[in-house]
Structure 1
């Protein structure tokens, strides 16, 4: 019981931090998204490396790297994971700093449903009746929003698809969360460093105030800490509870976008979000019900 309470606290911390992370990127909106991303990658790698050394997991990290290097498929998968998470980070930072937080939050509401779709298509997982209804509802929300605006909500779809594909790759690789993130950021660090060195002399002096540099360096802990809290929380609580808690993050981002940064929330948004929220409720209830049914049959 104590472990479950601790796990819930860690998971809550992770999702609340993810939910308010846009406030951090807003403080860097005078910097281009690709520059923020480059510093975020390098700072995250250095922070994760330092954390592994503090935890005395350096040998485990190098051992994992050596084993991965001997398996071309896993190396390819890790490179894919690194590209996917970097793409996801870039789109999210760009969206926040170009006043698209509402659409970005829509993407993370869609994420669990895209996960289900990938599970069915790629992993041949079973899809239940009400889960099919959930996917149809979510799709109708996206289609309705597309018709209303006359364009596809590419930010929401890109964020949902990139993170779902990243989750799928991570599931296939099956590497420790801390070591996995260290390897992924390590793979992206050379390109990020090249970009930083190339663009450093081209930046305006105003871009590199002391506070700005501190914020760019702090992007490492800001990225890694929620992931570590999430990993700790996931160890001690059920997937059902974790599934419900995950909606805290996009809800906070949505509220920040609408009420703090005054982004428009139109009838198209109301229709799309209503469809997604209904789909998520149906999906969560049906998943819980099916798991209980399977558990009772196996007893």
Structure 2
């Protein structure tokens, strides 16, 4: 994704995120209508409080997408990757605060080490890594709301897109009519096609994730989620040649150590839980 957004850096970031939201809403809505007909929207909103929770989660994910695209094209890919490294640990803290979940000593230790990493980066560079923290916070809050809403992943994404679609289209129309857009005659055919494809690049991985998460153990899903920020970090350093000096390396090292401790502890907990689980006898042949 950083490589894709970088190819589109000639387009203003706001225009990119507006098109990303609009076209992903069209693609997800068309998929749900093809799969379930008109009943998907009623089903998604059938539970109490779902309507406003999905409206809020839609605003959060739109903010997250917009900040990420701006950060990539402003030369902050490395700091953006830091946000998604921090995100799993922030999810843990939100679980403690809002869901009354309990952490073991090792988990608290990993959170403390990551906090030291953020503090180090703040101390050495004189300001909070606000891009990383805003990306992590918005995505963690999005995940919390989606967990509380208890709606199917794709249905929820469709409702979020439906909420955002009309305001986003209105902004796009205003931009085109006031000389601030360029989808039809300013960006060129290739760039306009890329804006449409951005919606597919947003929607299809989320649809795939919704199906995969039901078929792959959560312990593996958790480890796989570190692959994306690692790739983003490598792209930022080795492709875009962003600064990564010793001070930044120390701060990142704290957070990577915290994630390693957290991941290993989670894997050991899952193994112990599986060992304690009763064996289910095989069904007798008939």
Give yes or no for TM over 0.5: yes
Partner of 1:189: 165
Distance 1:298 1:49 in 2: 40
* CA distance in structure 2 between the aligned counterparts of 1:235 and 1:149, rounded to whole angstroms: 42
The residue number in structure 1 matching 2:12 is 32
Say yes or no: does 1:202 pair with 2:179: yes
Question: Deviation of residue 118 (structure 1)?
Answer: 0.4
User: Which secondary structure does the structure 2 equivalent of 1:212 belong to?
Assistant: helix
Q: Deviations over 1:24-80 (max 9, x none)?
A: 1112111111111111111011111121233x2123313225525xx3x22111111
Which moves more between the two structures, 198-207 or 94-103?
198-207
Q: How does 1:211-222 map to 2 (within 5 A)?
A: 211-222=190-201
Report what 1:263 is aligned to.
242
CA–CA distance in structure 2, aligned partners of residues 157 and 167 of structure 1: 15
**Is the CA contact (8 Å cut-off) linking 1:38 and 1:192 kept in structure 2?**
yes
1:6-41 CA-to-partner distances (Å, cap 9, x unmatched) read xxxxxxxxxxxxxxx111111211111111111111
1:106 is the counterpart of 2:87 = no
Partner of 2:284: none
C-alpha contact 1:135 1:279 (8 A) present in aligned 2: yes
Paired residues for 1:1-299 under 5 Å: 21-54=1-34, 56-65=35-44, 67=46, 71=48, 73-200=49-176, 201-203=178-180, 207-297=186-276, 299=278
Using structure 1 for the length normalisation, give the TM-score.
0.88
CA drift of 1:231 comes to 1.5
Supply the distance in 2 between the matched residues of 1:262 and 1:296 (Cα, whole angstroms). 46
Whole-Å Cα distance in 2 between the matches of residues 154 and 204 of structure 1? 29
Contact 2:110 2:259 in 1 (8 A): yes
Alpha carbons 1:31, 1:207 under 8 Å: kept? no
- TM-score normalized by the length of structure 2: 0.92
User: How far did 1:204 drift?
Assistant: 6.8
Quote the residue 1:16 is aligned against: none
C-alpha distance in 1 between matches for 2:102 and 2:45? 36
CA contact (8 A) 1:30 1:207 kept: no
Larger RCO of the pair (alpha carbons < 8 Å, separation 6+)? 1
SS in 2 for 1:24: helix
Q: CA RMSD in A?
A: 1.6
In structure 1, what is the Cα distance between the partners aligned to 2:144 and 2:37?
Answer: 26
Q: Where does structure 1 differ by over 3 angstroms across 4 or more consecutive aligned residues?
A: 204-207, 291-299
Matched position secondary structure for 2:267: helix
Deviation, 1:296, is 4.2
Distance 1:154 1:66, change over 3 A: closer
Structure 1's unaligned 5+ residue stretches are 1-20
Secondary structure of 2:127's match? coil
Q: Distance in 1 between matches of 2:260 and 2:45?
A: 44
**Distance verdict in 2 for CA 1:290–1:222, change over 3 Å:** same
Partner secondary structure for residue 209 of structure 2 = helix
* Superposed CA offset, 1:229-259 (max 9, x none): 2122211111111111111101111111111
Q: What are structure 2's unaligned runs of at least 5 residues?
A: 279-286
SS of corresponding position for 1:203:
coil
2-structure distance, mates of 1:185, 1:65: 13
